[in-house]
Amino acid sequence: MPIAFTKHLDRPLLRDIAALAAGILIVGLSFGAIATSQGVPWWQSTAMSLFVFAGASQFATMGIMTAGGGLVAGVAAGLILNLRHVPYGMAVGGVYWTSLRAKIIGTHLLTDQSTAFALAAGDDARKARQTYWTVAVSLFLVWNAGTVIGAFAGQLVADPAVLGLDAALPAILLALVMPGLKDRRTIAAGLLGTAVALAASFFLPAGVPVLLALVGLVVMWKGADGKREERA
């Protein structure tokens, strides 16, 4: 990353970004290796990271498709997970919407982390813009590098099951959702969705039960209505 671009970012912030990038690199390695262990060609996992660039969605889509859920169910799950990017764009869009090229690239690189770091910059527009691009570009590079390295490394493992890669996918997805389990309504929504998915898994094809788990969101909707009534 050019020094001139990051010179206005303080050292602690750059240290935090570097630590975050290191963590994302490890997750990228896991994604590439898991994809290979599931029989996905290296170029497909690499293309997915390059053109989708959404860790949780990639893991979910790959998990559903490799489990026999089919392309439609896999893509639908990925799209639903990425709906959270709509409010993200509304929150930090002004940071990178400086030109058509910046809009296209900046929107593609939009992630939970780049949004959080940009918002943390507060009212300092220049710092927010530099922080956003620094985080976004850094994570894009390490995620794709990790995917490629992991995909090729996975080919060298004779028996992926020995390394527990089959358990890595659900463990990573659990780690991704854990920060959101902070209140009772969120936990209730998750439990309801899980119950629906488990029940449906006995008679519906793979991939469909996961989508039906969205029924759990009705708990969040009712809770939101309750809050609005209290304020009225």
Query: What is the per-residue pLDDT across 127-144, written as a single tens digit (0 to 9) for each?
Result: 889 999 999 999 999 999
- Does the pLDDT at position 105 exceed 90? yes
d(CA 88, CA 90): 5
Give me the helices (H) in 99-160, please: 100-108, 112-120, 125-154
Neighbours of 90 (CB within 10 A): 9
Amino acid identity at 105 = I
Neighbours of 40 (CB within 10 A): 20
pLDDT single digits (tens) 193-212? 888 888 887 877 665 676 67
Taking alpha carbons only, the member of 118, 114, 119, 117 closest to residue 137 is 114
| Stretch among 46-60, 86-100, 165-179, 191-205 having the lowest mean pLDDT | 165-179
CB 216 within 8 A of CB 190: yes
- Does the pLDDT at position 169 exceed 80? no
- pLDDT band with cut points at 50, 70 and 90 for residue 99: confident
Tell which wins on pLDDT, 9 or 147.
Answer: 147
pLDDT single digits (tens) 30-78? 888 888 888 888 898 999 999 989 887 888 788 777 777 777 777 887 8
pLDDT at residue 136, rounded to an integer: 93
- Does the pLDDT at position 229 exceed 60? no
CB 60 within 8 A of CB 179: no
